[in-house]
């Protein structure tokens, strides 16, 4: 059986507003962002989102240069101390479709704005989807990962100095 792949078009549903203007690898935990709905979505598309403690945000790495997209393997953060691993076995931004996904803390909703904490996306990032986090969609067993991933993430969510 041969699968036929179709071209798809995604339209952003919102935009990130925060004080992070540059792409950085660490210190995202304290970042507070406002996700502003696009004009073509009604306010009611966010109704009751604030009743959830967390939301999953799917976004587009719009600043990644197409020439820097990886499809094979590389050292995470280009650090030769880490093993050479496939791009789909890491969370780097230079992914084939430049998609990011992060679970954030929902702080509040004000009309067309969703205030969140811990979104690792810079100001102006297009948002493709917002989903409430439900316990039933979280992992149903122990989460395991290699030691290099734990080392790489040690400062990711910590506040910057």
pLDDT in tens, the chain (161 residues): 677 778 889 999 999 999 888 776 655 667 789 999 999 999 999 999 999 999 999 999 999 999 999 999 989 888 899 999 999 998 888 899 999 999 999 999 999 999 999 998 999 999 999 999 999 999 999 999 899 888 878 887 676 65
User: CATH number for the domain including 32?
Assistant: 2.40.30.70
This prediction has a pTM of 0.89
**Residue 111 is part of which domain span?**
14-137+146-152
Six token digits for residue 41: 């979505």
C-alpha pair distances (Å), 67 with each of 63, 77, 85, 132? 12, 17, 19, 34
Domain count, the chain: 1
Six token digits for residue 96: 């084939």
In this predicted structure, what is the pLDDT of residue 31?
A: 79
Spacing of C-alpha 131 from chain mean position: 12
Q: Which residue has the tokens 């406002």?
A: 34
**Opening angle at CA 49, ends 46 and 53, nearest 5:** 155
User: What count of other Cβ atoms lies within 10 Å of the Cβ of residue 120?
Assistant: 25
């Amino acid at each position: 059986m041969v699968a036929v792949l179709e071209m798809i078009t995604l339209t952003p549903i919102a935009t990130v507003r925060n004080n992070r203007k540059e792409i950085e690898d660490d210190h995202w935990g304290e970042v507070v962002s406002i996700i502003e709905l696009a004009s073509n979505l009604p306010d009611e598309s966010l109704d009751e989102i604030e009743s959830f403690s967390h939301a999953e945000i799917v976004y587009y790495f719009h600043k990644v240069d197409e020439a820097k997209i990886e499809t094979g393997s590389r050292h995470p953060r280009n650090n030769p101390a880490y093993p050479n691993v496939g791009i789909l076995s890491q969370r780097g931004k230079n992914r084939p479709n430049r998609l990011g996904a992060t679970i954030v803390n929902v702080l509040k909703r004000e009309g067309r704005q969703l205030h969140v904490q811990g979104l690792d996306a810079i100001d102006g990032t297009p948002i493709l989807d917002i989903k409430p986090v439900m316990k039933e969609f979280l992992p149903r067993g122990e989460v395991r990962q290699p030691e290099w991933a734990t080392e790489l993430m040690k400062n990711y969510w910590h506040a910057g100095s």
